[in-house]
Structure 1
C-alpha cells in the first residue's frame, strides 16, 4: 500500500477539528467553504493548496506544519493511538492548565527514576 499524503493531512485536520469541538459545518463556515468539501479534504479525496492548508491551520489555531506531521515512523500503532488521544486532550487546555499538566508529568517521570 502506498503512502498517501492527502489521507494523512485529512486525518490531521479531522483530529484538530475534533479537538476544537468543531463540526465540519462550523469549520466550513469559518473557512467559508462547503461542509462537503471539508469532508472530502478530511477523507483525503482531494489535493489542497498550501494556501488552503494555511487557512485551515489558522482557523484551528495551530501551526500549519502540525497538519503535515505523520505517525508513519511509529511502528507500534497502539502507542501512536494513545499519543494521539493525549495530544487531542492537551489541545483543549489553556496555557496555565498545560503548565500544571507539564509539572505533574515531570514529577511522575521523576518518580519513575527512583
Structure 2
C-alpha cells in the first residue's frame, strides 16, 4: 500500500507542475494546507478518496491519470502539457492547431530522418 501512496503522490506532483501550479495554489483550490499537499506528493499521507477526488477535480484530470500509470514517461508528460495548453482554447482555435499539427507531422513524415 505504501508504494501506491508514493506513486499517486508522484503523479500529483507531475500533473500539478505541468499546470504551472505551486503546492500553495493547489492547496487553495482544494482547501488543503500547502504542507499537506507537499506531504501527499512525497507519499507521506494516506489520503482519503474524498481528498483524492478534490485533487483530481482541481487538476482537471481523470482518476485514471493518477492511478493508471506507475510513472509518466517523458512523452506522457509532454502530451499532458499539450492538453493543459489547449484546455482553455476555443474549439475554433483547437481546430486550427489540429490542422497545423497535421501539416507539421506530414512534413516530418516526408523528411524521413
| TM-score normalized with structure 2 length | 0.71
- Correspondence for 1:58: 57
Distance 1:50 1:99, change over 3 A: farther
**1:4-83 aligned within 5 A:** 4-71=3-70, 80-83=73-76
CA distance in 2, matches of 1:50, 1:102: 36
User: Taking structure 1 as the reference length, what is the TM-score of the superposition?
Assistant: 0.71
CA RMSD of aligned residues (A): 2.7
**CA offset at residue 65 of structure 1?**
2.6
Q: CA deviation at 1:63?
A: 2.0
How much has 1:23 moved relative to structure 2?
Answer: 0.8
Which one has a bigger Cα radius of gyration? 2
Gaps of at least 5 residues in structure 1 are: 75-79
Q: Distance in 2 between matches of 1:20 and 1:13?
A: 11
Q: Which runs of 5+ in 2 are unaligned?
A: none
Among 74, 77, 88, the residue aligned to 1:84: 77
Query: What is the Cα deviation at residue 70 of structure 1?
Result: 0.9
